Chain A
Amino acid sequence: MLQPDISLINNTLRYIGCSDGQADEQMLLTVRKALDTVLTKADFKYRYCKIADLADTPTFLEKEAYASLRPFLNEAALFAATLGLGCDRAIQATTKTDLSQAVVINAAANVVLEHLADEKLNTLQPKGVLFCPGYSGSDIIDNKQILNYLDAQKLIGIYTTESGIMIPEKSLCGIVLNNYRFSCKNCFIQSKCDYIKKGTTCYNQ
């Protein structure tokens, strides 16, 4: 089982806005406790399929927002992963009794999901970065197509709402792209992006 190592702790601290070295002992304890909760509740599952192996090409990729991806699609794959409903439930219940802890558990769950997804992506071919619907002006409603192609509801339990929100909340899906470079160009939250304010980016911290 994954352990709450220094990398997970630091990334969780980063998610709650606490840079390296700023956390006091109490905050570190809170983060460790949150990671313990997440690692106990998480039931990581994933699905993966090369786009070339699909019966047809997903139509959402024809949208303008995905134009920059097209040169990379021959080597691309669809990917989805989730921590399951246990983490959602833990966050929901903790919110009622200790909102502060719930916020840290929420951050820790994001970190653990990304960590496990990255770890899994590194073992698959093609390797690459994960471009998720919602990035660069694309629409998160496209999650639905990705999840349908991967039969993700049936096989790993990721549902979507009418508005394309994934349930369990701690789920992700997207397109794995080899050699693709991200850009902030079309990102709609540029004006409030904390990374840009600090002179960095979310994909290159």
Chain B
Amino acid sequence: MLQPITHIQLFDGAMGTMLTGRKETEGILFEDLNVLSPELVQDIHRQYLKAGAEYLTTNTFGANRIKLKDSKFSLEEVIDAAIANARKVAENSSTKVIFDIGPSGKLMEPLGDLTFEAAYNNIKEIVQYTRDKVDGYLIETYADLLEMKAAVLAVKENCTLPLFATMTFEESGRTLTGSTPEIVALTLTSLQVDALGVNCSTGPDRMIEIVEKMRAFTHLPILVQPNKGLPEMCCGQISYSLNDSDFAFWTEKIVAAGATIVGGCCGTTPQTIRCIAHLKQTKTKSYKPISDTYICSATRLLKLEKGILCGERLNPTGKKLLQKALLENNFDFLQQEALQQAAAQADFLDVNVGIPNCDEKTLIVEAVKKIQEVCEQPLQLDSANPAAIEAAIRIYNGVPMINSVNGNEESMQALFPVIAKYGAVSVALTLDKNGIPETPEGRLEIAKKIIAKAAEYGIGKHLLVFDALVMTISSNQQHGRITLETLAQLKKLGVLTIIGLSNISFGLPQRAYLNRTFLIMALQSGLDIAIMNPNDTDSVRMLKAFNALAGYDDNCATYIAASNATPVEFPVQKQSEQSLYQTIVQGLKGTTETLTNKELEDKTPETIINEILIPALTEVGEKFEKGTLFLPQLINSAETAKAVFAILAKHFKQIDTKKEKIILATVQGDIHDIGKNIVKIVLESHGFQVIDLGKNVAIEKVVEAFGTHQPDAIGLSALMTTTVDAMAKTIAELRKLPNICPIFVGGAVVTEQIAKEIGADLYGADALATVNKLEELWKK
């Protein structure tokens, strides 16, 4: 733990740029200099100490297992020497030795190939090795919030030393991966680092705004270590634009903006630090923790307040398609559902994967990763299983809502430590071991009990959102009234409220009318957040209208924005003018259902396939090969045909098993998957069953999938020359299996010759050629 800070404290300045440009360091890794030139490193530490630094940072920015690959020494040798150098200088003084942890140099999944676990273990190893030798840790220059979270957890779970965590921001005011200062401050405060802040980035002048924004979201000490101006490359060397007195001028302004600890990053020298050492005389202000309630993803911050909409569609209860998708690990379906709700103006999304006989812990982790891959909306992690909630909250990028804790002692004991550790916001159900109280007063008493218990864990009531609980009026017509009165009572406690709206109408006809009416009644009674279907446009508009009418929407801005957000329809011909055949050829995806059902009135599914679908796809194929129809149109036609197949399959069970089963994967090391996705849709449009393993697929996963699914063919894709090798290795491993199916390959760099050389059975020059070759293969 960091001791309370009463005066501005001083870190040291740059190590790397102090080591560059010297003859004795040319061509040597900076980290290796700890061993090779300890006097040089110690001399720099000593100069910073003399300049007034109260914290010396070890020369270990790149000293981690992932990054330190070209060193002449072991990681342990480098670390030991670095700590010894700083310790030697700091001995007999009150100066602290802080172990410097730089980023891994890899980008996290899904954009890159670094897993959360690998990022965590990379830092855990360092902390376990050094925790008895240093006075604290500085995680700095991180550009990815999720990598930062992994590193913070690795430090906090393996020691109790002070932890300083700073990120780097671009000129846009966001980190490379899109996080704002507010999001960084909220997330790191939630994770309870000892100090957070910003380093490197641009010059100190640009950091004032970042510090102000962070300060609005944290009461913790803010550490700022700017570069000495903007980096400029000149004659192969990077130089920095400010002089020391300019740096000091801006640093004073940074302190006025709310920084409590200052130092320097690239380009700064002991002289620079000396120029800001007088700031140590400045008393720090004290700051209160924020009392408003926020959740966030890595790129979107959401204040929880009146009129917020939580999308309910990612909950498998009563949703057969979602249940099927979860059983089949079809995360594309979840991603599409998430994006659809986001487009329908859901502010955040509930994610529940609770289906019978599934490993919920694994499934929710994968679902959260996949949804965060494509969707910016913050998430509500919804499970009755505390272990599943903790697993999901751990890898969640940002600060989530969790659903839910309740007044049961067991529930609170299981979840409050998790909420306290990760700093989430939680839904609190007003029920306990005796069930749901029948009166508003009973529910209120449980709410009070939950608030009191949460306080024991240091969890403020602003981090709890109380569910007044909605039960259907079909079984008891007082249920609606009880919920409304509970909402009103809860608001008197000064807490946020939430309900699952559609429960009110369960078992009754024309549910939409009841839901919409109850929404307005609940909002009037004190409801803040509605968990509901955002695709019910009327309900969404009524919610926005309520906020505008009740004075919660400044300048009616949200109402106007929502009204203007009507999706622009792409011009398509009217359905009445189209035949199903033309619809497929023209790829008019939105018009298939009515037309297919119309054809089904007087044709069997088999006839539709043979007389409409196949001829239409044949025409599309011929046009594509002639170069009169192009890839986007081919895909549209394929997606349309796939939609027709799905409708026909409901009427004709055999369709599911009619065509062969194919596994597709982009090989290990390759993160490009657009080509594989095109092949997938074209295969599906021709009725093949496709099991898509995704991108960057490990060899063993392909081997395992063959055993699990027993496919009729396996297709591998690679876009880059360097990953063709992984393709060859995957084929070699598959060839060791008995009864291995045909293997086909494709991708930008793969040729017929390469396909032969690496042992593939078939080469697909493009998606359509692949389909034709497979059709031909199985015709034989």
Cβ 8 A contact of B633, one of A89, A100, A163, A167:
A100
B669 CB–A CB distance under 8 Å: yes
The answer on a CB contact under 8 Å between B722 and A99 is no
Contacts of B632 in A (CB 8 A): 16, 27, 30, 100-101, 103-104
**B311-350 with Cβ < 8 A to chain A:** 332, 335-336, 339-340
Q: Would you call B765 and A88 a contact (CB within 8 A)?
A: no
The answer to whether residues A92 and B669 also contact, given A55-B236, A100-B636, A188-B749 and a CB cut-off of 8 A, is: no
A172 to chain B, nearest CB (A): 13
Query: Could you say which of A54, A89, A191 contacts B752, with CB atoms under 8 Å apart?
Result: A191
Q: Is the CB of B674 within 8 A of A102?
A: yes
Chain A residue with the shortest CB-CB distance to B338: A96
Whether B671 lies near A16 (C-beta < 8 A) is: no
Chain A residues contacting B627 (CB-CB under 8 Å) are 17, 19, 22
Distance in angstroms between the alpha carbons of A192 and B766 in the assembled complex = 11
Q: What residues on A are CB-neighbors of B748 within 8 Å? A: 189
Chain A CB within 10 Å, residue with most, of B176, B335, B374, B670 = B176
Query: Given contacts A47-B233, A140-B722, A188-B751, is CB(A96)–CB(B670) below 8 Å?
Result: no
CA distance A22 to B627 in the complex (A): 9
Contacts of B141 in A (CB 8 A): 154
Cβ of A47 to closest chain B Cβ, rounded Å: 7
Q: Is the CB–CB distance between A100 and B336 below 8 Å?
A: no
| Bound Cα distance from A22 to B170, whole angstroms | 42
Chain A nearest CB, measured from B640 CB (Å): 10
Does A18 sit within 8 A of B, measured CB to CB? yes
| Docked CA distance A106–B570 (Å) | 20
Check B648 for interface membership: any CB of A closer than 8 A: no
Report yes or no: A27 in contact with B630, Cβ–Cβ below 8 A: yes
Residues 229-251 of B contacting A (Cβ, < 8 Å): 231, 233, 235-236, 238
Q: Find B336's partner among A54, A85, A97, A102 (CB 8 Å cutoff).
A: A97
Q: Which of A16, A19, A56, A96 meets B374, CB within 8 Å?
A: A96
Select which of B107, B172, B673, B726 is within 8 A of A167 by beta carbon.
B107
| Residue of A30, A106, A154 with highest tally of chain B CB at under 10 A | A154
**A/B pair count, beta carbons within 8 Å:** 146
**Chain B residues in 8 Å Cβ range of A165:** 669-672, 720, 722-723
- Interface size class, chain B: 35 or more
Does A167 lie within 8 Å of B671, measured CB to CB? yes
Residues A99 and B172 in contact, CB atoms below 8 Å apart: no
Are A54 and B236 touching (Cβ within 8 A)? yes
8 A Cβ contacts from A1-26 to B: 16-19, 22-23, 26
- A163-B723, A192-B765 known; A92 and B110 CB under 8 Å? yes
Q: Does A95 make an interface contact (CB < 8 A)? A: yes
A43 located at the interface, meaning its Cβ lies under 8 Å from any Cβ of chain B in the complex = yes
Q: Does B635 touch A at the CB level, under 8 Å?
A: yes
B721 within 8 A of A: yes
Please name all residues of chain A whose beta carbon is closer than 8 Å to the beta carbon of B112 when the two chains form the complex. 159, 161, 167
Asked whether, in the complex, the Cβ of B105 is within 8 Å of the Cβ of A159, the reply is: yes
- Whether A177 sits at the interface, judged by CB under 8 Å, is no
What is the bound-complex CA distance between A104 and B631, given in angstroms?
A: 9
B111 within 8 A of A: yes
Interface presence of B35 (CB below 8 A):
no
Please state if B374 and A93 are interface contacts (CB–CB under 8 Å): yes
A62 within 8 A of B: no
User: Which single member of A16, A84, A106, A140 contacts B630 (CB below 8 Å)?
Assistant: A16
The CA of A192 and the CA of B753, in the complex, are separated in Å by 10
| Residues of chain A with a CB closer than 8 A to B571's CB | 26, 29
Bound-state Cα–Cα, A53 to B111, Å: 33
Q: Which residue of the partner chain, among B143, B671, B749, contacts A189 with CB atoms under 8 Å?
A: B749
- In the bound complex, how far is the Cα of B236 from the Cα of A53, in angstroms? 5
Question: Of A85, A96, A141, A159, which one neighbours B335 at CB under 8 angstroms?
Answer: A96
B483 within 8 A of A: no
Query: Are A167 and B111 neighbours in the complex by a CB distance under 8 Å?
Result: yes
Interface residues in B140-192 (C-beta closer than 8 Å to A): 141, 143, 170, 172, 176-178
Tell me the bound Cα distance from A101 to B636 in angstroms.
Answer: 9
Interface residues of chain A, those whose CB is within 8 Å of chain B, are 16-19, 22-23, 26-27, 29-30, 43, 47-50, 53-56, 84-86, 88-89, 91-93, 95-97, 99-104, 106, 134, 139-141, 150-151, 153-155, 157, 159, 161-165, 167-169, 188-189, 191-192
Given A95-B677, A151-B233, A163-B669, 6 extra CB contacts under 8 A: A48-B233, A89-B374, A140-B722, A161-B112, A161-B113, A191-B752
The 8 A-B residue pairs whose C-beta atoms are closest, nearest first, are A53-B236, A163-B669, A163-B722, A100-B635, A100-B632, A93-B374, A159-B107, A157-B176
